[in-house]
C-alpha cells in the first residue's frame, strides 16, 4: 500500500550537539557548521528561508541565498521594491532558516534588519554575472506581468543598451543585513529527541547559551 504523508518519517542518528561542544560565539559556531556543509558538498548550502511579516502580522516566507556573514549579521540581496523589501521597510524584523538535510541540521536566526552600505551593494552587484545584473533592471520584482515575453524583451533591450559597458546598480536594488538577537542550532536525534542549543544576545553584546527541549 502506498504511504500517506502522515507515514513519512526519518529517524535522525548522525550526530549529537552538547553545550560543551559549541563555540561561545554563535558566529564561530555557524562558520563551523557552514564549513562542514561546504565540505559535504551540499546543493546550495547558502540557501535559506527568509520570513517577514506586515505591520498587522500577516506572514510570508521565501527562499533566498546568503551572500555574506560576519559578526555584524547575515546578508542577502534583493529588489527593495519587492514584496519582502516593502515588508522589511515597514517592519524591519526577519527570521532566517537554514536546512541541511544531509547533515540532519537546522539553523534558525531571528533579528533586526537594516540595509548594507551602498558601497557594499555596489561591490557585490559588480561581481554578479552580466545577465544577472541586467535581470535586476529587467524585473519589477513581485509586480504582476502579462507574460514572460515582456520580461525577455526587456532583457534583450538592456543587452543592446549595455553591450560592452558597465551595468550600474539599480537604486532600488541592494543588500539587507539580518542582525541577530537569537541563533538556534538544531541537530536531529533519534526518537525526535533533537538537540537544540539557543544563543540569545544580551544587552552588553555577549551571548547566553541555553538548551531547549525538542
The residues annotated as belonging to the active site are 192
- Was 176 annotated as part of a binding site? no
Q: Are 33 and 27 in contact (CB under 8 A)?
A: no
CA distance 69 to 127: 17
- Was 199 annotated as part of a binding site? no
- Was 93 annotated as part of a binding site? no
H, E, C per residue of the chain: CCCCHHHCCCCCCCCCCCCCCCCCCHHHHHHHHHHHHHHCCCCCCCEEEEEEECCCCCEEEEEEECCEEECCEEEEEEECCCHHHHHHHHCCEEEEEEEEHHHCEEEEEEEEEEECCHHHHHHHHHHCCHHHHHHHHHCCCCCCCCCHHHHHHHHHHHHHHCCCCCCCCCCCEEEEEEEEEEEEEEECCHHHCCEEEEEEECCCCCEEEEEECC
- Was 29 annotated as part of a binding site? no
- Was 80 annotated as part of a binding site? no
- Was 62 annotated as part of a binding site? yes
- Was 108 annotated as part of a binding site? no
- Was 67 annotated as part of a binding site? yes
- Was 124 annotated as part of a binding site? yes
Annotate 125-137 with b (16+ C-beta within 10 A) or e (fewer). beebeeeebbbbb
- Was 189 annotated as part of a binding site? no
- Was 10 annotated as part of a binding site? yes
- Was 84 annotated as part of a binding site? yes
Q: Which residues contribute to the annotated binding site for FMN? A: 62-67, 77-78, 84, 106, 141-142, 186, 196
Annotation: binding site: 9-12, 62-67, 77-78, 84, 106, 124, 128, 132, 141-142, 186, 192-194, 196
Residue ranges for the known binding site for substrate are 9-12, 67, 124, 128, 132, 192-194
Amino acid at each position: 500500500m502506498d504511504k500517506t504523508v502522515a507515514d513519512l518519517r526519518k529517524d535522525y542518528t548522525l550526530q549529537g550537539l552538547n553545550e560543551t561542544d559549541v563555540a561561545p560565539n554563535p558566529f564561530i559556531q555557524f562558520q563551523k557548521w557552514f564549513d562542514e556543509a561546504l565540505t559535504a558538498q551540499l546543493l546550495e548550502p547558502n540557501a535559506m528561508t527568509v520570513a517577514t511579516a506586515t505591520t498587522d502580522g500577516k506572514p510570508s516566507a521565501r527562499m533566498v541565498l546568503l551572500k555574506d556573514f560576519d559578526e555584524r549579521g547575515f546578508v542577502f540581496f534583493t529588489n527593495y521594491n519587492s514584496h519582502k523589501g516593502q515588508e522589511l521597510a515597514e517592519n524591519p524584523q526577519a527570521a532566517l532558516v537554514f536546512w541541511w538535510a544531509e547533515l540532519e541540521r537546522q539553523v534558525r536566526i531571528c533579528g533586526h534588519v537594516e540595509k548594507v552600505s551602498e558601497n557594499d551593494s555596489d561591490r557585490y552587484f559588480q561581481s554578479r554575472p552580466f545577465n544577472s545584473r541586467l535581470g535586476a533592471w529587467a524585473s519589477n520584482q513581485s509586480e504582476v506581468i502579462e507574460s514572460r515575453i515582456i520580461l525577455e524583451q526587456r532583457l534583450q533591450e538592456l543587452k543592446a543598451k549595455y553591450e560592452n559597458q558597465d551595468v550600474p546598480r539599480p537604486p532600488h536594488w541592494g543588500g539587507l543585513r539580518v542582525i541577530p538577537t537569537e541563533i538556534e542550532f538544531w541537530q536531529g536525534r533519534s526518537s525526535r529527541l533533537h538537540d537544540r542549543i539557543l544563543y540569545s544576545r544580551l544587552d552588553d553584546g555577549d551571548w547566553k547559551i541555553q538548551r531547549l527541549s525538542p
